[in-house]
Structure 1
Amino acid sequence: MAHLLGGENLTVSYATRTVLDGITLGLEEGDRIGMVGRNGDGKSTLMRLLAMRSTPDSGRVTKRSEVNIGYLDQSDVLDGDLTVGAAIVGDQADYEWARNPQIREVMGGLVSDVDWHANVHALSGGQKRRVALAKLLIEDHDVIMLDEPTNHLDVEGVAWLSRHLKTRWRANQGAFLVVTHDRWFLDEVCTKTWEIHDGIMDPFDGGYAAYVLARAERDRAANVMEGKRQMLVKKELAWLRRGAPARTAKPKFRIEAANALIADVPEPRDSTALSKMATARLGKDVLDLENVSLDFLGGDPGQKLFDNITLRLAPGERLGLVGVNGAGKTTLLKLLNGEIEPSSGKVKRGKTVVTAVLTQEVKELDDVSDLRVIEVIEREKRSFNVGGKEFTAGQLVEQLGFTNEKQWTPVRDLSGGERRRLQLLRLLVGEPNVLMLDEPTNDLDTDTLAAVEDVLDGWPGTLVVVSHDRYLLERVTDHQMALLGDGKIRALPRGVDQYLELRESALAGSTITGGGNPVTGPSGSSAPAASGSSEAEKRDARKAKNRIERQLGKLEQQEKKIHDQMVKSTAASDFDALADQNKKLKDLATDREALELEWMEALEVLGE
């Protein structure tokens, strides 16, 4: 593969901190690279250097003379006074750009719903992002660099961008480098991963999942080395402590080496399981929406945002919500939280329900902006009982990445991601039993997302998550539902893939499966209304439904068993067994899809 561009001994420092420390790397034709790392570790800095938008303190970036680089910054770079059309295609006439199939595909995928004649400054953040992406992607570049391209994109936009990048070039042509916290996107489009941390870059083969596995293996090996070092530390400590006469007979360099080992041993600290935090008891009834309709706020009378929907949340239920922009996802959370009243229908709330909502803007921290992080949590409680043991507020905040130094930072000085972490922690220590999260992944890096997911994984209350991050939805929720902008709410037995299929059908002018007013199914999910089925058909459907549910239960047990085997194979570095187990999981997933489709057909007949 031909070399396109590269960096040699790249070093960048800010004040007393070195962000990049002598990094050497390169991009070859055919590279599909995702960059990951904590916020502030230098991902965007490195991308700007490679795109030749900034210069390093030392080192250099070189590229082949004919290589053309396209670069999308995080910030808005479009002229706000231009119209959308002028911002994307300049002064080209419609017939000039419209005859190019690649340009037509980009336009259809990103800006088909944006007013071509509107000024850029009048657009929403998501629309500006799509216009900037469209401008970049219609151009002919050898290398494309995208810094957080999925910010402000919905599930459909992310899916379209992944398809475009995978098919833009042939396998060994072109290259792209992307920085994003969207782990599904990284897995979908990348064949290599660069991890930026502590001033260096570690390369890994594969997308996000392969990177996580390889990093776990690297950390396991490091732990083995650390264990051996700790044993050496103990031996050296024992030798040093044999008394003054013994020490005087030993060479000085042995004493210096032992002291160096001792000084390098990290201080032990206790870890707190936030996921086991006590919550208020939930009764049988949680939150129910019964035949709820809601007019568009500020719209014409009779225009419905929700039209006669029914949704029931069970104790411990974990629901993910996806939907088109403006379909009412955030409004649905406000209905469930009692912030707004429906135009008709009932909102039933259990007597013991205690709700908490993480909003997109995190305005809830405005009233504590002058307090320090630790003070915000201590205002809720100074100590917490977890698993029968008492822990301080400081021990708790450390679990979501607030070091001893960060704990004393004023809230007003926190970054966007740190503010979201603090607000989530503040909500959890308030001990709610219904937690609603509105786009919780905004501004969080991949490591912090994993920590948040670990907390949510074991959280015992009812959870409702609105997010365009399908990795998060599939990780922390048990089932998903969709708002498609038609006033209805629909179940997605096959998850986000089914939602994208429904949207494609809708955009193509097809009728969405089921139509009409969906009725409530298992766990409050919606299913298409039944047609006039005979009693014999219903009897057969009921038998099929019971049989399928038994089979799905067995599949779930098999999947759990394979997951346990994969953990053992990872620990033993048995990658052949791991590949075999992964194939078995994919086969089970295929069987599950077929059974779930059959299950839905049975529900249609039964009218459930």
Structure 2
Amino acid sequence: MAHLLGAEALHLEYPTKVVFDGVSLGVDEGDRIGIVGRNGDGKSSLMAMLAGRREPDSGRVTVRGGVTVGVLEQSDVLPDDLTVGGAVVGDTPEHEWAGDAKVRDVIAGLVGDLDWDAAVGTLSGGQRRRVALARLLAGDWDVLALDEPTNHLDVEAISWLAQHLKRRWSAASGALMVVTHDRWFLDEVCTKTWEVHDRIVEPFEGGYAAYILQRVERDRQAAAIEARRQNLARKELAWLRRGAPARTSKPKFRIDAANELIADVPEIRDRVSLQSLAVARLGKDVVDLLDAGVTYDDRAVLHDVTWRIAPGERTGILGVNGAGKSTLLGLVAGTVEPTSGRVKRGKTVKVATLTQRMDELDPHMDEPVRVVISRLRTTYSFGAGSKEQELTPGQLLERMGFSSAQLSTPVKDLSGGQQRRLQLLLILLDQPNVLILDEPTNDLDTDMLAAIEDLLDSWAGTLIVVSHDRYFMERVTDQQYAVHGGSLRHLPGGIEEYLRLPKAPAAPRAKRDETPSQQAAPATPALIGADRRAAEKELTALERRIEKLTAQIDASKTALADHDQSDYVGLGEKMQAIGALEAEVAAAEERWFELGELLA
């Protein structure tokens, strides 16, 4: 593959820290590179140097003649007086951009719901981010360098972006560099991973799952990484292999090696013990929403919501921005009163909410971390049964990535990710038994996300999560619901089922003489008679077919591990056969969901 750009002996340092020392690497046509590492280790600086936006202190970056590089930075640089249309297509005549299939796809995928003539200055932060991304993707580039492209994007937009980048170039052309903490996105799009750490850039083959396996092997063999980080990585590998079946086809590594590594790793959560402890602490009654509705200014945001939340339940809430997720959380937390129906709470319920704001930290901004912690509980209990542990706040801080030196740092001088972790710690030390997390992954790198997931695995209580981070939601929750069209809808098929839902209609306005609970929800076409019996028969046949195909795929992957790894042609043929089976399963599942909708 042709070389597009490269770096030779890069050196970069700040007054108090050397970021890179002697880094050499290259980007070739067909590369799809995910850049990971701890916050502050230089991910964004590396990409800025490669993209020509920052000069290294020494060393050089070379770009092949004629190669164009498009850059999405974290900062917003769009002028406020520019219109949405002007930002995306500039002065290009409408007949030209409208005739370009790629531009039409970008507009539909990112800004189709925005007023084309609206000024950028009137948009929200998330809307401005989508406009900036659309502006970049509407252009023609040989290399794209994206710094946190999924920030402020919802699940639908992230899914669209992944598919767009996968089909933007042919397999052997173009190149992508992306800095992101979104692990699902990394695994879905990237074929290589660069880990930035300790002044170097270490390359790995494959996306996030393959990187995790190789990192575990590196840590085991070299014994250079502390035991805690290694165990977290092994635990996360177990999740990738056991907890996310759709992802098991992505890692490019031997199946037998993966199984050997996780043979002694227990299930990520002891659900029986945690459920038992949650019942003991909460009783059987937590929070029940009974035909609850909320209307603002004649607009029914939620209607006819019935949700009986169980002790120990771990639920993810999905929905587009403005769908009513925050209103739903307010009903659960007691900060919003229903305008119809009622909310019933158990006597022992203690709800805590990790919001997108830093309210818990505001009174402590000028105080060192150790002073803030000293006022709290001396110990914190978590886990259940034989795994129950008592940790001091200091041990919890260490577990969440704080060094002893940072205990003397004023809260206001902590990074955004450190403040976010301290905020969660303060909430946990208050010992709630119902925890609501509203976008908890903001400002956190992948290692810190894994540490928080590990902590939540041992937390015995009811957990409700709203997040656009698909990996995090699938990892810490056991079921998902969608706020869709003003109602709450269970998603047996998880996020994949959510992405197949039709676009929700606008929330209806309440009639003057009618309460939200009296308004009928939009009717769903249902099958009856012979058509229904035929659909039920087809549904049963599809379930058997999916089960049979899945078994064939598992057997093929197991056989793949025993195949001669130097036989690239034979391996390629077998992978193509597996891919065909997976495509057949995907088509069957899509039909299964369609039938389920008609039979509901």
Identical aligned residues as a percent: 54
Q: How is 1:474-513 mapped onto 2 (pairs within 5 angstroms)?
A: 474-484=474-484, 486-503=485-502
Residue of structure 2 in register with 1:15 after alignment: 15
Deviation, 1:445, is 0.5
Deviation, 1:352, is 1.1
Residue of structure 2 in register with 1:306 after alignment: 302
Give the Cα–Cα distance (whole angstroms) in 2 for the partners of residues 224 and 54 of structure 1: 32
Residue of structure 2 in register with 1:158 after alignment: 158
Q: CA offsets, 1:546-572, max 9 Å, x none?
A: xx99xx9x99xx9xxx9xxx9xx9xxx
Q: CA offsets, 1:316-371, max 9 Å, x none?
A: 11111111110011221111000010111111111111111100112221122122
SS state at 2:442 partner: coil
User: Structure 1 stretch 36-45 or stretch 380-389: which is displaced more?
Assistant: 380-389
Residue of structure 2 in register with 1:212 after alignment: 212
Give the Cα–Cα distance (whole angstroms) in 2 for the partners of residues 313 and 529 of structure 1: 26
Residue of structure 2 in register with 1:343 after alignment: 339
Distance 1:281 1:130, change over 3 A: same
Give the Cα–Cα distance (whole angstroms) in 2 for the partners of residues 15 and 316 of structure 1: 49
Residue of structure 1 in register with 2:26 after alignment: 26
Deviation, 1:528, is 9.3
Deviating beyond 4 angstroms after TM superposition, the runs of 4 or more aligned structure 1 residues are 224-227, 273-280, 385-390, 504-507, 526-534, 586-605
Q: CA offsets, 1:112-161, max 9 Å, x none?
A: 11111111111111111111111111111110000000000001110111
Q: CA offsets, 1:186-240, max 9 Å, x none?
A: 011100000001110110000011111111111111239999xxxxxxxxxxxxx
Give the Cα–Cα distance (whole angstroms) in 1 for the partners of residues 97 and 56 of structure 2: 38
SS state at 1:305 partner: strand
Give the Cα–Cα distance (whole angstroms) in 2 for the partners of residues 107 and 452 of structure 1: 36
User: Could you tell me which of 328, 342, 358 is aligned with 1:332?
Assistant: 328
Unpaired runs of at least 5, structure 1 = 228-272, 508-516, 519-525, 570-579
Letter in 2 for 1:499: Y
1:46 aligns with 2:46: yes
| 8 Å contact from structure 1 (residues 274, 396) kept in 2 | no
Letter in 1 for 2:373: I
Letter in 2 for 1:53: R
Residue of structure 1 in register with 2:571 after alignment: none
| 8 Å contact from structure 2 (residues 147, 180) kept in 1 | yes
Distance 1:308 1:10, change over 3 A: same
Give the Cα–Cα distance (whole angstroms) in 2 for the partners of residues 157 and 602 of structure 1: 25
| 8 Å contact from structure 2 (residues 269, 457) kept in 1 | no
Distance 1:600 1:62, change over 3 A: closer
| 8 Å contact from structure 2 (residues 360, 426) kept in 1 | no
1:116 aligns with 2:125: no
Give the Cα–Cα distance (whole angstroms) in 2 for the partners of residues 147 and 169 of structure 1: 19
Residue of structure 2 in register with 1:196 after alignment: 196
Give the superposed CA RMSD: 4.2
Larger Rg: 1
Residue of structure 1 in register with 2:372 after alignment: 376
Letter in 2 for 1:348: K
Letter in 2 for 1:381: R
Unpaired runs of at least 5, structure 2 = 228-267, 507-515, 562-573
SS state at 1:46 partner: helix
Equivalent residue pairs, number: 523
Deviation, 1:44, is 0.3
Deviation, 1:392, is 2.7
TM-score (norm 2): 0.77
Q: How is 1:177-196 mapped onto 2 (pairs within 5 angstroms)?
A: 177-196=177-196
User: Structure 1 stretch 363-372 or stretch 5-14: which is displaced more?
Assistant: 363-372
Q: CA offsets, 1:501-533, max 9 Å, x none?
A: 1146979xxxxxxxxx99xxxxxxx99989697
Distance 1:463 1:384, change over 3 A: closer
Q: CA offsets, 1:30-49, max 9 Å, x none?
A: 10000000110000000110
Distance 1:63 1:224, change over 3 A: closer
Letter in 2 for 1:142: D
Distance 1:361 1:390, change over 3 A: closer
| 8 Å contact from structure 1 (residues 491, 527) kept in 2 | no
Deviation, 1:601, is 6.8
Deviation, 1:602, is 8.2
Q: How is 1:274-285 mapped onto 2 (pairs within 5 angstroms)?
A: 281-285=281-285
Deviation, 1:395, is 1.3
Give the Cα–Cα distance (whole angstroms) in 1 for the partners of residues 207 and 290 of structure 2: 43
1:64 aligns with 2:60: no
Q: CA offsets, 1:471-509, max 9 Å, x none?
A: 11111111111112x1111111111111111146979xx
User: Could you tell me which of 358, 361, 367 is aligned with 2:357?
Assistant: 361
Q: CA offsets, 1:62-104, max 9 Å, x none?
A: 1112110000100001112211122222222322321211111
Deviation, 1:595, is 9.3
Residue of structure 2 in register with 1:253 after alignment: none
Distance 1:589 1:119, change over 3 A: closer
Q: How is 1:521-540 mapped onto 2 (pairs within 5 angstroms)?
A: none
Distance 1:529 1:284, change over 3 A: farther
Deviation, 1:423, is 1.1
Deviation, 1:391, is 3.8
User: Structure 1 stretch 122-131 or stretch 89-98: which is displaced more?
Assistant: 89-98
Letter in 1 for 2:49: L
Give the Cα–Cα distance (whole angstroms) in 2 for the partners of residues 71 and 603 of structure 1: 42
Distance 1:225 1:38, change over 3 A: closer
Residue of structure 2 in register with 1:260 after alignment: none
Letter in 1 for 2:109: G
User: Could you tell me which of 345, 352, 363 is aligned with 2:348?
Assistant: 352
SS state at 1:444 partner: coil
Q: CA offsets, 1:16-38, max 9 Å, x none?
A: 21111111000000100000001
